[in-house]
Structure 1
Amino acid sequence: MRARWQPRVRERARRQAATSTGLVVDTRARFGFTAAPGTTDDARIRHLTPALPPQHAARLFDAQDAGASEQQLRHIASEGLGEMYFRDGGRRALGLEVEFTDVEHIQFDI
């Protein structure tokens, strides 16, 4: 019975994250964008734990289901992280290209 139950619970949690609650990303990586040396947004190792909105969760889940590579998933995650961390959900730094490299760890929580 547990073998049948667990996948349904997992699928329900993924569906909820992709449509209403989003997900939380905990990562430590080189994160930033090319800026003048010494500025606060210059790429450097950062530990971030932002909440990504449902549309970013949906993109990650869809790509994972389609067999995306780790590099492709990392790119989608970096877009979401850049949107929430640097661009503040579209309130600043529009069009900024974010760098997300040297990943030490990344964990997604629903």
Structure 2
Amino acid sequence: MGQLADGLDKAVHKAFTRPIPTSAGARMRYLVRQMKSTKAAAQQLGISQRTVERYVKNKIKTPRKDLAARLEGEVTKRWQPQIRAQAKQKAATTHGIVIDTRARFGYTAAPGSTDDARLRHLTVALPPTYAARLFEARDQGATDQQLQTIAAEALQETYFRDGGRRAGGLLVEFTDVEHIEFDL
């Protein structure tokens, strides 16, 4: 996953009403319930079915670091799907999304303007249409570059062109992302 996709996921995770299970056994039991079998959970995690059964029965309590990360990722992906859907729907229809980024912005504009790329730190509230586009692209498996293109268009229209009130012919280039965070 890329930086923008992870940022969108983290923004949705902030909407969770309960934390994900903390112990390895509780996480494994949740994953087994969601996947409906120990065999499916084992295949998803890349471990044996017997190992999954040991975690479910709390015979193994501390997973290896790589397995702990995979287990946490799989549980987080499936945790509170209705809350996740509601948060996305709210952002896509009424509230929009806030983007906080430090990146290099360059411009293609009329001759004589200052179009040299430079680092900027921006915090901008994007309208619901761009939130909907970002979440839809993320859900369809868009690459980080595709998400970055949507974010650049959103920042271009919302921040730099101010909704069409200025800089009509301005095209924004959004590169070298140092930091990006989303909030619903």
Please give the TM-score of this superposition, normalised by the length of structure 1: 0.87
**Structure 1 contact 30–101 (Cα < 8 Å) conserved:** yes
The total of aligned residue pairs comes to 108
CA RMSD of superposed structures (Å): 2.1
1:34 and 1:42 in contact (8 A); partners too: no
Residues in 1 aligned to 2:97 and 2:164: alpha-carbon distance in whole angstroms: 18
Moved more, 66-75 or 93-102: 93-102
Matched position secondary structure for 1:105: strand
SS of residue matched to 1:107: strand
Structure 2 counterparts to residues 1-110 of structure 1, below 5 A: 6-34=80-108, 39=114, 42-110=116-184
Matched-pair contact (CA < 8 Å) for 1:64–1:73: yes
CA distance in 1 between partners of 2:103 and 2:112 (Å): 18
Unaligned 5+ segments in structure 2 are: 1-17, 19-29, 31-77
Q: Which has the larger radius of gyration?
A: 2
Q: Identity percentage over the alignment?
A: 68
Q: Deviations over 1:2-60 (max 9, x none)?
A: 67872211211110000011000000000131456883x64210000000000000000
Instruction: State TM-score, norm by structure 2.
Output: 0.54
Q: Does structure 2 retain, via aligned residues, the 8 Å contact 1:28–1:48? A: yes
8 Å contact from structure 1 (residues 52, 80) kept in 2? yes
Show structure 1 runs of 5+ residues with no match: none
Is the 2:108–2:170 Cα contact (8 Å) retained in structure 1?
Answer: no
Q: Whose RCO is larger (CA < 8 A, sep 6+)?
A: 1
